[in-house]
Amino acid sequence: PCMPLLSHIARALETNRFMTFHPPVTQAVLDGFPEGDLLYGKPMPVGAARAALTGGGAGWWSRVCWLIDTPERLADYGALAAALDTELRFAFEVDVGLHRGGFSSPAEIKALTVPERLHCEGIMAYEAHAPEIPGLFGGAARALKQASAKAAEFAATLDPDRRRIMNIGGSKTALLHGGGVANEVSIGSAFVLPSDFDTPGLDGLQPAAFVATPILKALDPMLPGPPSVSRALQALGLFPKKGCYLYGGKWMAEPVFPEGMKPNGLIGLSSNQQFMGLPAGADVKPGDYSFLRPTQSEAVLQHFGAIAVFAGGRIGEFWPVLPTG
């Protein structure tokens, strides 16, 4: 959700290929990358596609590849292309084990009649389920092998000129692929590594984005009511003897600094002033900063202002993020 961050990554990887999931973000990427080529990561309702095509710039007509997951959506997009007197590119969403929709068998695609104004570019296969498969059922390696084989079956139903996009993988699995029919993988969240993406396939990466928020208050916490209740709970280790209140809170993020900082269920969460318990020896004061590691990427980063870029021991730049609308 941050154009300077996307530019930084695109330059490092020497790519102009992007996957987007929301029309306003798509528009920003089209505007920011005049040579960019975009693939949608989820099917767009045909009404949203119509609004984008009629209200956006020229890039929507030529540089966006739409995702088609059902025969009905294929027909809807065919009718849209005819109504707008244009041609549209698309890729098939195929199910290689995740069971989140899409075409479930190559035969389904083979039986389709593609409307003449639609041009198939290939397939998108997503296998986020693979890292979650327990060893009892073959584990991630077997699931990835099966997903790759299934993707190859889908690809075989397409003529060679309809296989420009053979997309597979997500942040948790992209680096585990080698060989196979895929000619591109999708990676997003792994570049900043939120905690939900702590998987063996990303062992070589480090977290790169944190929420920084001031400590408003540092105190010896007490629960409402008789002080003896708080003291008894503290003696039992159920309530901290030291704590602080943060500016804001209740984010999709886990505390990482000060060390040992954590929320407490007896006080609960707050989006205004979040209470955090601290180890007895913690040395904090109002005005110090606390840091939390997001559990997700764009779902968290877009809720704050510009990203403060820390490098060489200092903050040298501020990168604006896209609005959430």
Element (H, E) at 168: strand 165-168
Q: Classify the C-alpha dihedral 137-95-51-22 as positive or negative.
A: positive
Is pTM beyond 0.75? Reply is yes
Element (H, E) at 119: strand 118-126
Which regions of the chain are under pLDDT 50?
none
Place of tokens 């505390």: 255
In angstroms, the CA 182 to CA 173 distance is 13
The tens digit of pLDDT for each residue in 77-128 reads 999 999 999 999 999 999 999 999 999 999 999 999 999 999 999 999 999 9
Contact 189, 171 (CB under 8 A): yes
Q: What is the predicted pLDDT for the residue at 178?
A: 78
> Could you name the CATH architecture of 3-190?
Alpha-Beta Barrel (3.20)
Contact 60, 52 (CB under 8 A): yes
Burial class (CB in 10 A: 0-12, 13-18, 19+), 90: buried
What is the distance of C-alpha 69 from the center of its chain? Answer: 20
Q: What is the predicted pLDDT for the residue at 114?
A: 98
Query: Per the omega criterion (within 30 degrees of 0), is the bond before 258 cis?
Result: yes
Can you tell me whether residue 99 is helix, strand or coil?
A: coil
Domain ranges of the chain: 3-190, 211-296
Contact 127, 172 (CB under 8 A): no
Q: What is the predicted pLDDT for the residue at 299?
A: 85
In angstroms, the CA 157 to CA 108 distance is 10
Tokens describing residue 231: 């003291």
The secondary structure of 229-265 as a DSSP string is HHHHHHHTTSS-SEEEEEEB---SEEEEESTT-B--T
Tokens describing residue 58: 């020229």
Tokens describing residue 57: 């710039």
Contact 142, 173 (CB under 8 A): no
- C-alpha closest to that of 22 among 46, 3, 48: 48
In angstroms, the CA 192 to CA 86 distance is 38
In angstroms, the CA 160 to CA 321 distance is 39
Residue 14: φ, ψ to 5°? 55, 55
In angstroms, the CA 1 to CA 27 distance is 12
Q: What is the predicted pLDDT for the residue at 169?
A: 87
- Residue 106's contacts (CB-CB under 8 Å, 6 or more residues apart) are 153, 154, 156, 157
